[in-house]
Structure formats: structure tokens, C-alpha cells
Amino acid sequence: MRAPVSQAPASPDSGAALASWLWPAGLAVLSGGLLLLVALPLAGLFFTASPRQLLAGLANPLVGPAVRVTLFTTTASLALVVACGTPLAWAIARRRTPAWRVLETALELPVVLPPAVAGVALLLAFGRRGLFGPTLAAAGIGLPFTRAAVILAESFVAAPFYLQAAVAAFRRLDPDLVLVARTLGASWSRVFFTVAIPLSRAGLAGGAAMSWARALGEFGATLMFAGNMEGRTQTLPLAIYAALESDLRTAQSLSIVLVAVAFALLVGVRAGARP
């Protein structure tokens, strides 16, 4: 660290000199603290078991079904979120009226909502005694504690991440391009598919990646709404939770796998965001 430079020796300015030294030191302590808070748990995750122990942990019979359930449900939820979210984001991005602003804010709610609350809300909407439970039951559909429930829970918490990114991407689009496309005779749907989507690809892909990562990590809402049934509704985070009681190494190995996937996604999104 650079030594503080004092212009006048032992003058009333020494207070200022002290302050100029205190500030960088305080900054270093505070930011170092946060850095350790993030780094130490990761170090614990990676350095408390040998590679052989970690590989053995992955051999646990919990792992295979959990990977399958996770891949299936997160892919389905991503498809659902992208298919429904892209047109919705386009509609939101093009409108500036108060009603659409309210809708936009409401759709961001799941980001700040505690997952447990999401679980209760989903149960009260689609559960047996929920708002639509009897209607669904009459149609022979029972959602809670099924794989469909996992997909719904994941979509509920992950959709806002995709929507936010997609709305932002569509708002960055040069409005003249849309206007010119329309004067060239293009309908709104043609503008959407041939101008808006191709030119917003990077933003949409980034949002999809973040949304998929959020679905991958979904725990609370899934546990409450879909349960923790091996091979049916037990996703990787739930398998980690289940393994924690019997085999810490399995929990640790799966955690490392999820960290690696999350990190790769983050790097990919950063690289994709660069023009």
C-alpha cells in the first residue's frame, strides 16, 4: 500500500493525513471481509475431501434419478418460460402505460419473494383445497407432489429472470428499425420474429441462462409444492438436502457439480453479453 504523503509536517493537517490513511485501510478490511465470506465456504466445499471421496459420493444411488429429474424439469420449465415469456416481454417493452408498469412490477415479485411463500402460494392455488384444486380434480388432474408441480415451482421462481432480461433486450432495440419494418408492410408478428428476436438474441440467451440457473437451484417452493420423492420430484438441491443426513460426501459432490455448472453459466452469460 502507498504511504500517505503529508505536505506540511505536524500541522493541523495531520488529522486530514490520518483520514487519508484510514480510508483505504478501512476499505481493505471491509471489502476483504466480504471476499472471505464468499471465498471461505467455497474453499470448504472444494478442499475438505479428496477427489476419490468425491467420486465415491457421486456413486450414491440418489444421484442418477436426481440428475434425470433435474434435467427434465429444468428443461421443461425453460421451454415454458421462453415460449410464454418472449411474447409477453415484447408486449411489455412496447407499452408505457401505468397498467403495464404495474404488471411488469408484479411479474418481478417472485424475485424478492421467499421461496417458502412461493410454495404456500402454489399450494393455495393448485393444491387439493386450493383456489383451482377442485376444478383440476374434477378434470382428473392432481398437480401437487408430481413432476408437473416441480416444473411449475421452477417456472414460478425462474420466469422473472428471463422476463426482465427479455424486456430490457427489447427496449434496447432501435425503435426506428421497428417503425421501418412496419412501413415496409410487416405485421407485428413478422416484426417480432424477423427483427425483434434476431436482434435481441444475446439478451434473450443471457436471460434464458440466468432463468435456467435459478430453476436449477430451486429448493423451497419445490419441497413444499412437489415434495421430495426420489426419482419423481427429487431434484439435485433436494437430493443434497436428503443426502446431508446420510452421506455428507454425496451432498458435497453434488454441490460441487452445481457450483461448476453455475460458474460455467455465469462465464457464458458474461461472454455472450459482450458485443
Partner 1 sequence: MSALEVDVGGRAGELAIDVALRASETPLVVVGPNGAGKTSLLMMILGASTPRRGRITLGGATLFDAEQHVDVPLERRGLGFLPQRYALFPHLDALQNVAYGIVAPSRDERRARAMDALRELDVSSLAARRPAALSAGEAQRVALARTLARRPRALLLDEPLAALDVSVRRDVRRFLAGGLRAWRLPTVVVTHDRDDAAAFDGDVLVLEHGKVVQQGRLAELERRPETDFVRQLTSGRHDLPPGAP
Q: Point out which residues bind partner 1 (CB under 8 A).
A: 174, 176-177, 179-187, 194-195, 198-199
**From the CB of 270, what's the least distance to partner 1, in Å?**
22
**From the CB of 187, what's the least distance to partner 1, in Å?**
7
Nearer to partner 1 by Cβ, of 177 and 244: the residue is 177
Q: How many CB atoms lie within 10 A of CB 258?
A: 18
Nearer to partner 1 by Cβ, of 77 and 86: the residue is 86
**From the CB of 184, what's the least distance to partner 1, in Å?**
3
**From the CB of 189, what's the least distance to partner 1, in Å?**
12
Nearer to partner 1 by Cβ, of 91 and 199: the residue is 199
Nearer to partner 1 by Cβ, of 75 and 194: the residue is 194
Measure the CA–CA gap between 240 and 121, rounded to whole angstroms.
24
**How far from 68 is each of 73, 195, 212, CA to CA, in Å?**
9, 37, 15
Nearer to partner 1 by Cβ, of 166 and 215: the residue is 166
**From the CB of 175, what's the least distance to partner 1, in Å?**
9
